Amino acid sequence: MKYETIELQKKDRIGTITLNRPDVLNAFSEQLIWDLQDATKNLKEDNDIRVAIITGAGKGFTAGADLTERESSWTSVKDSLFRGFLPIFENIMQMPKPVIGSINGPAAGIGAAIAMACDLRIMSKNAYILSVFSNIAVVPDGGLSWFLTRYMGYTKAFEYAIEAKKISADECINFGIANKIVLSEDLESETIAWAERLAKRAPQSLSNTKKIMRNALEKNYLDTYSEEAEIQNKIFGNAQNKEAIKAFFEKREPNFD
């Protein structure tokens, strides 16, 4: 499928979305918002795709909203956030498969929220997360206040937000925001290798673990315990479970095709 502002590639059960406005550091025009909505929905609904990747073309992930855009269909900022961006976040977070954010440079503004909405993050050494909003006298949006507070705690999240301080790749590792840091030249290959490893694992394990852990952010221990038990009861003994156990005893890689 062709898009104006992104590239969507599907190969070996991996779907890769590349934000493709490198001349403006992949800043979000209205068209990019609609394209990303559609592409994330596409991967969400494609049962042949086991792992999704979101990255940016050129020197960065995304600079956030394109402040130079003069004409759009939005009736207000709130309209753009709910009608435009919210479906993207919902697609990423509700997608029944892991989403890897491959952060190749700045992830700023609402782009920082897109990066943090992903399930996993691999960053190049020069990449960073930036809540840039206070520089233009507004507040974080895209749920970035929620993401930063949960990863960094209120005190540090507030400091980094109101001072618009970069969260470097090394700091992202320390705060638990990033899973891996690699050299810039190795980012693409390391991201694909990670996705390939995940794509070989049991789809029901990946999707249900994501569901349980996402829900656990809002649930108490007993509710999470109960959800685990219900899902475990449904999938224990099914075809994927049997194949995984058989492969374990036969000392081979399981086949979930």
**Are 119 and 231 members of one domain?**
no
Return the percent helix, strand and coil in the chain, to nearest 5.
Answer: 50, 15, 35
CA distance 18 to 6: 5
**Are 230 and 122 members of one domain?**
no
Q: Report the candidate in 15, 119, 6, 98 with the shortest Cα–Cα distance to residue 61.
A: 6
138 is in which domain, residue-wise? 6-199
Model pLDDT for residues 51-64, shown as the tens digit of each residue: 999 999 999 999 99
**Are 112 and 172 members of one domain?**
yes
**Are 53 and 180 members of one domain?**
yes
Q: Using alpha carbons, list the distances in angstroms from residue 233 to 153, 191, 206, 238.
A: 35, 33, 16, 10
Model pLDDT for residues 181-239, shown as the tens digit of each residue: 999 999 999 999 999 999 999 999 999 999 999 999 999 999 999 999 999 999 999 99
**Are 232 and 137 members of one domain?**
no
pLDDT at 257 over 90: no
Q: Is the pTM of this model over 0.85?
A: yes
CB 122 within 8 A of CB 101: yes
**Are 62 and 166 members of one domain?**
yes
Q: Is 151 exposed, middle or buried (0-12, 13-18, 19+ CB in 10 A)?
A: middle
CB 253 within 8 A of CB 200: yes
Which of the four pLDDT bands, split at 50, 70 and 90, describes residue 76? very high
CB 97 within 8 A of CB 37: no
